[in-house]
Structure 1
Amino acid sequence: MDIVLVTAVIASLFIVIGAAEPLAARLRLPYSVILAIFGILIGMGAVFFLHTELTDALNPVAEAILGLPIRSNVFLYVFLPTLLFQATLGMNLRRMLDDWVPILVLAVVAVVAATLSVGYALSWASTLPLAACLLIGAIVSTTDPSAVVSIFRSISAPRRLARIIEGESLLNDAAAIALFGLFMGFVMLGAPDPSLGGALAQFPVLIGGGALVGWLAARVAVWVMALFGRHELALISISVALPYLAYIGAEQSIGASGVIAVVVAGLTLNLTGPGRLPPQAWINLREVWDLLAHWSGALIFILAALLIPRLLEGVTFSDFILIAVVVAAAITARAVILFGLLPLLTFLRLSPEVERPYRTAILWGGLRGAVTLALALAVTESFRVPIEVKRLVGILATGFTLFTLIVQGTTLRSVIGWLGLDRLSPIDEAMSRQVVAVALQSVRENVSRTTEAYALTHEIVRAEAKMFGERLEGAVKVAEDSGDISDRDRITLGLIALAGFERDTILDRVRERTISARMAEPILSDADRLIEGARVGGRSGYQRAARRSVAYGRAFRTAVMLHSRFRLSSPLVSMTADRFERLLSQRLIMRDLDTFIDGRIRRIHGRRVADLLHELLSRRIEMVGTALEGLRLQYPGYAEELERRFIRRTALRLEEREYTAIREDGLIGAEVYTALMQDLATRRTLAEARPRLDIAVQRVDLVRQFPLFSDLDERALKKLGAALKTKYVEAGKVILSKDIAAKSAFFIASGAVELESAGQTWRLGRGDMFGQLAILIGKARRVEVRAIAPSTLLVLDEARFRTLLARSSALRDAVRASAEQRGVDPALLFVEQPDTK
């Protein structure tokens, strides 16, 4: 085939790709539907010109189009890894993990249900063997990720719902391809007869092996990319190689799922890349992958559509009946999942509530695309599959895909309008009015400054200012006096706006490198939870999200258990250091929110809403302060190291700004500027390094670290160490309750606690003790002790404590000091005893 013609054809396809997007917007149709229509028309046109006698001039072009090397392996090994990898890079993994149960259930159960439904329906309606029918069911069971995601973006679906559907449509490719491989073995001629049990036993290898290959490949890639941190093009080039090597390595080396390998590799890079790579390099890498995925998704649709005329050759009337059976069975299976399983998951509190209109839109929006055609093409290419099976697989898969694209795709927007999903809710309408009012106020201020700077004619200024002022007053009045918005909704609107501004501020701080890229994703996830919490649950939802942002999660508690029981300290060290930096970053961000409340929200929603937001913000600041104080007490000095690091990063940012301003003023040339920026980059790399946190204290050192025992000799220290018992306490747990007499003295080896008595609170950290006053007074004291950080306590019973008190003058002095601090007369504690050491 002439390489010039092939190049010209491929270049022309890019012109088609460029024209399809604006045409889809103009016709209000899904982009993938337009691409599929173009592909079908191109394929039919090539066949027409090749066989017509009207002209032979276009025969070479038609031959080049029909002779393109379009094989199933091209789709599965070239285009599919690109689409999957880019989708995982764009996912908010931490938020996706919040909904892993509905995502996993929908991805697996929906595919299995569709496979069985289509398979048994076809087995009843045709003469094909059951295995071949189930093979067809597996082929048509996977939805197209790009089509599904674009649909939900077009209807402005809730973010959490969009995440669930995106995750489901991404992962169901792996389930469908795995089922395809299972049933393909049953229909191939000459293949050894597989057993169902043996085939199902391969699933752990498919999933686990693919996940392991993807994780290892991504870890190696991130390590290499970190070495090339200053060479942005090298980083991007390595990222391009990663999904293909992971896919091929999993498929060809261990027979695992290449789809799972690519997904895990992308998720691993998504999770670790921002903290290991320069921020601008990571942003550019994402942009490159967005472009690659756009091209791949468009080409895979056009090239797959080119095959449709070929796959539909020899279609008969009875085939149309079977296509109708496939359509009915697939839609029925999806309806059972959406209207049966999803409400059940919601009832069990495993999934967010999905309202009926959205479920209907999901049902009608289950478009099939290139993956379905690629799997069908793989069957038709195999010489070991019976001819009749190959013919029906090609016709039924292609016919069903055409139905979803042409019928469902073209009518989807009408269905959305019928369901009312294209109209804003009352609260969204109110938010749009708020945005208009706030924007107009900012515009008026900027216009005023502009007129002063350019000394414009006063008459013109007054006339325009009057017209603009009238428009602004009208917009503000509409925003303030909306009769259909209750006070509760006004508070919700204010909280959403506040959380949105918080998110924007985080992005600004990340771009300025005041907040490290490592912390960007978790802090942005917290802000997203605040937005969704306020949107769904109003004030209470916002407060729940705020409490969650400072709470210790399951992963942290697992890390504490690994450290305490198995001496595996690395996970706890990393999570504790992350928590330190996260809390410091949150405190930094929240300092800017009061100004936004007074400057924007008060002008739109009034003093009452603004005062309430100030109160809620104060509670958040107090929660963050308490959590941070617990860590300060637990690891004194480490917070100060992080604050010094923040100051160094801020100074470098200001220095970079000065160099850029001097360069723009023409005071230095490009060579000097480049040298200064390279030196700045070197110092910034050093400043980005986080100080080391040491939490691995050995048992013998736990006793020695206490100043209380400084006057004990080595023998007494060892004896005391044997008498002390270790107790691990999670954050938030009550250690001592009021009105219960303490029977032991507690020494804080690590962590922090809060004592509350008579309306007063004290916070104690590493090296402090509590419980000793209750022992010495001999009666219960109204004191509650609660851990405010994961803590390690050394516990000494009453008898041994009294013996130790008699031997240690330092301990007696500490007891007296603590009694005076808490308003207890030291004379009530003990009579001075001689030192018997």
Structure 2
Amino acid sequence: MALFETSLLLMLAAILLLQISRRWPVPYPTMLAMAGVAVAAMPWVPPFEIEPRLALALFIAPALFDAAYDFPPRALLRYWLPLLALAAIAVLLTTGAVATAAVWFGGLPVAAAIALGAIVAPPDAAAASAVLGRFTLPRSTLTVLEGESLFNDAVALLIFTWAVTTASSPGLLNDIAPLLVLEAPAGIVLGIVFAKLYVYCAPRLAGTLGGTLFEFVMTFGVWVVADRLHLSAILAVVTFAMMVARDAPDRQAARDRLHSYSVWGATVFMLNVLAFLLMGMQARTIVGRLAPGELGHAMLFAGGVLVIVIVVRIVWVMLYNRGMAAWARAHQWPDVPSTGQGLLVSWSGMRGLVTLATALALPGDFPARDLIVLSALTVVLGTLVLQGLTLGPLIRRLNFPKDDGYDTELVTARRALLDAALATLGDRQDIAAKHLRKAYQAEHAVEEGGHQPGDMEEIDALRHKGIEARRNTLSRLRRSGRIDESVFHALELELDWAEVAAMRSEETEIVQG
């Protein structure tokens, strides 16, 4: 009960702090970090430990699904080189640099040092997106950062799993080494099987709360089954999400999709809040049992890990950026990466949920566990505060040129959709067809550019004004008793859908806070 009450307190603190992040250029994970540590530091908050395998399943599975679902598979082919540089090489370099320092200066066993490196290596795209979403940036940069967050999690978690296995049972890795080769492909196959099963069953649950629950059952289920079979749970979930994202939308109703997005957004956000709380509670316990001399050494070591994580990313990203720019100019490529893009990517290295979850997933008897957990929390807090608070000013200073690619594609696609809608009317000349044809042609004229700047905003404003007038009339009819409650709710739902249809795409998203 005490943990539940504390979680409610943190939720309330997070909600209040997030109102600040909406008005100031502060990433919401930075606010969550501050709230989690502050609440966990309160003396009445009880100590709490979470079972390691539960921590991975509870926090990592939905985070991976959420990231993989939104990432377009075609971007893998287009941006494979920068994704390889960030999601694989950068993770390996960071893991190696941190592990080397941990062995030389921290005295950690090699396997434990590698585990620490894997824990702090992957940046969290949610932290960067909270700031980047407020600016107009090159689409290629945003896509690469989103892809990096997905695939560097997978690489880091694979390294982490192998390191924990080696440290916990040194002889076991040699015994199962041949099986590890099959972990990745078998995990991918399992993800495909679960995705096919989901796509087959989901339409039969459409329009029900069971359909949304089924999404959670399948997401956690693919992780649990892969874990039980000793397959790559990470790749299984990533494959499952990308396959579902490819096949499910064509078979899913708009109502189910909107409901699913809102539920998933709230769930991932709540898990972020819980992870920061649990991490803060563990850090308080660790600090409480360290002697003054040990605490000073531990904080110095953790600060060193933070510096290494930041510096390695900056050095590697800038080396890659300048090297690719020189190669692109030599081969006369049209898209030459700019120094500003390199600076932005190198500074978008805030750590978050994955780092917290993997640190919580360390077994209780793991070598140097306290030092590793303290270092992980320091890296998360340090990057969120230092980089999170300065990323917005850096973007403004870099002054990126406006990227019109998104707007151009949006207008082109809208025209194609309207052409398809017009074609369904054929040669019909009845009243219904004439009315609908005029509506389609009016929308087509707007998209063709036959309007003045600001006309689209005026059209949207008029639509919302009409919907608001209908809502007011509906409320008066209800209050006067002229319509039944069931009629009120039916018309209210119609107006809700009409209002959503009149919104721009960015207005339909549920933002954090």
Same fold (TM over 0.5): yes
In 1, Cα distance between the equivalents of 2:203 and 2:84? 32
Equivalences for residues 497-508 of structure 1 within 5 A: 499-505=409-415
Tell me the equivalent position of 1:289.
264
| 1:290-369 superposed matches below 5 A | 290-313=265-288, 314=290, 315-345=294-324, 347=327, 353-369=336-352
Residue 152 of structure 2, aligned match among 172, 182, 195: 172
Quick one: structure 1 residues 27 and 603, their matched pair in 2 at CA, closer, same or farther if it must change by over 3 Å?
closer
Q: Tell me what 1:378 maps to.
A: 361
Structure 1 counterpart of 2:464: none
For residue 28 of structure 1, what is the aligned residue in structure 2?
25
Residue 369 of structure 2, aligned match among 372, 387, 390: 390
Which of the pair is proportionally richer in strand? Answer: 1
Report the counterpart of residue 224 of structure 1 in structure 2.
201
**Match of residue 206 from structure 1:** 183
Contact 1:145 1:166 in 2 (8 A): yes
CA distance in 2, matches of 1:507, 1:96: 27
Q: Does 1:98 align with 2:73?
A: no
Equivalent of residue 228 in structure 2, options 216, 236, 252: 252
Note the C-alpha offset of 1:365: 2.5
Amino acid at match of 1:238: F
Whether contact under 8 Å (1:135, 1:184) holds in the other structure is: yes
Amino acid at match of 2:60: L
* 1:560-571 correspondence to structure 2 within 5 Å: none
Mapped to 2, the partners of 1:221 and 1:136 lie a distance apart of 36
- Amino acid across the alignment from 1:299: L
Offset, 1:501: 2.6
- From the superposition, tell whether residues 355 and 235 of structure 1 become closer, same or farther in structure 2 (CA, over 3 Å): same
- Confirm or deny: 8 A CA contact 1:372 1:401 kept in the other structure: yes
Q: Find out whether 1:234 has 2:210 as its counterpart.
A: yes
- How far did residue 217 of structure 1 move? 0.6
Max Rg structure: 1
C-alpha change, 1:89 and 1:127, in structure 2 (3 Å) is closer
Q: Which amino acid aligns with 1:207?
A: A
Which residue, 231, 234, 238 being the options, matches 1:263?
238
C-alpha deviation, 1:332, in angstroms: 3.1
Kept in 1, the 8 Å contact 2:124–2:354? The answer is: yes
1:731-780 C-alpha deviation (Å, 9 max, x unpaired): xxxxxxxxxxxxxxxxxxxxxxxxxxxxxxxxxxxxxxxxxxxxxxxxxx
Structure 1 residues 43-95: Cα deviation after superposition (integer angstroms, max 9, x where no partner): 1113xxxxxxxxxxxxxxx2xx3244544444311122222212233333444
Whole-Å Cα distance in 2 between the matches of residues 279 and 592 of structure 1? Answer: 21
Are the counterparts in 2 of residues 338 and 363 from structure 1 also a CA contact under 8 Å? yes
Given residue 261 of structure 1, which amino acid in structure 2 is its aligned partner? A
Quickly say closer, same or farther: Cα 1:211–1:598, change in 2 above 3 A: closer
**Partner in structure 2 of residue 55 of structure 1:** none
Instruction: Kindly indicate whether the alpha-carbon contact (under 8 Å) linking 1:148 and 1:166 is maintained by their aligned counterparts in 2.
Output: no
- Say if 1:502 and 1:593, in contact at 8 Å, map to a contact too: no
Q: CA deviation at 1:275?
A: 1.6
1:144 is matched with which residue?
124
Measured at CA, do residues 77 and 596 of structure 1 come closer, stay the same or move farther in structure 2, by a change above 3 Å?
Answer: closer
Gapped regions of structure 2 (runs ≥ 5): 426-439, 456-476, 491-513
1:520-550 deviation per Cα after TM superposition (whole angstroms, max 9, x unaligned): xxxxxxxxxxxxxxxxxxxxxxxxxxxxxxx
Q: Is the 8 A contact 2:195 2:244 kept in 1?
A: yes
CA 1:394–1:301 in 2, change beyond 3 Å: closer, same or farther?
closer
Q: Which of 114, 119, 129 is equivalent to 2:99?
A: 119
CA distance in 1, matches of 2:126, 2:255: 26
- 1:77 maps to a residue whose letter is A
Mark the CA change 1:31 to 1:352 in structure 2 (over 3 Å): closer, same or farther. Answer: farther
Aligned residue for 1:416? 395
Aligned mates of 2:361, 2:21 — CA distance in 1: 30
Measure how far apart 1:247 and its partner are.
0.6
Q: In structure 1, the residue corresponding to 2:64 is in which secondary structure?
A: helix
- Classify the secondary structure of the residue corresponding to 2:451: helix
Alignment of 1:818-837 (within 5 A): none
Superposed CA deviations along residues 205-260 of structure 1, whole A, max 9, x for unmatched, are 3321221111111110110112334x34332221121110011111112x122122
Instruction: Give the structure 2 partner of residue 45 of structure 1.
Output: 42
SS at match of 2:41: helix
The change in CA–CA distance for 1:151 and 1:260 in structure 2 (over 3 A counts) is farther
Q: CA deviation at 1:105?
A: 3.8
- Structure ranking higher on relative contact order (CA contacts 8 Å, 6+ apart): 2
The change in CA–CA distance for 1:9 and 1:497 in structure 2 (over 3 A counts) is closer
User: How far apart in 2 are the matches of 1:351 and 1:378?
Assistant: 45
Change (3 A) 1:374 1:286: closer
Contact 1:144 1:169 in 2 (8 A): yes
Q: TM-score, normalised by structure 2?
A: 0.74
1:6/1:125 CA distance change after superposition, 3 Å: closer
| Structure 2 equivalent of residue 183 of structure 1 | 163
| 8 Å CA contact retained: 2:199, 2:244 | yes
Equivalent residue runs for 1:254-653 within 5 Å: 255-313=230-288, 314=290, 315-345=294-324, 347=327, 353-379=336-362, 381-383=363-365, 385-386=366-367, 389-417=368-396, 419-421=397-399, 425=401, 499-505=409-415, 596-597=447-448, 599-600=450-451
Quote the offset at 1:602 in angstroms: 10
1:8 to partner: Cα distance: 3.4
Classify 1:131/1:351 alpha carbon distance in 2 versus 1 (closer, same or farther; 3 Å): farther
- CA drift of 1:369 comes to 2.1
Identity in percent = 22
Contact 1:79 1:296 in 2 (8 A): yes
CA 1:194–1:292: 2 relative to 1, 3 Å: closer
User: 1:211 corresponds to which letter in structure 2?
Assistant: I
Kindly indicate whether the alpha-carbon contact (under 8 Å) linking 2:98 and 2:309 is maintained by their aligned counterparts in 1: yes
2-structure distance, mates of 1:338, 1:234: 45
* Whole-Å separation in 2 of the counterparts to 1:297 and 1:127: 32
- Report the counterpart of residue 488 of structure 1 in structure 2: none
1:599-631, Cα deviation, whole Å (9 max, x unpaired): 227999xxxxxxxxxxxxxxxxxxxxxxxxxxx
Name the count of aligned residue pairs. Answer: 440
Change (3 A) 1:27 1:598: closer
RMSD of the TM alignment (CA)? 3.8
Partner of residue 435, structure 2: none
Query: Structure 1, residues 343-399: CA drift from partner, whole Å, max 9, x if none?
Result: 4456369996442223223222311123223323333x332x34xx22322232232
CA contact 1:345–1:351 (8 Å) conserved in 2:
no
Q: Distance in 1 between matches of 2:28 and 2:415?
A: 34
Q: Is the 8 A contact 2:55 2:360 kept in 1?
A: no
Letter in structure 1 aligned against 2:192: W
The 1-side partners of 2:448 and 2:118 are apart by 54
Contact 2:90 2:316 in 1 (8 A): yes
User: What amino acid sits opposite 1:294 in the alignment?
Assistant: F
Superposed displacement of residue 403, structure 1: 1.8
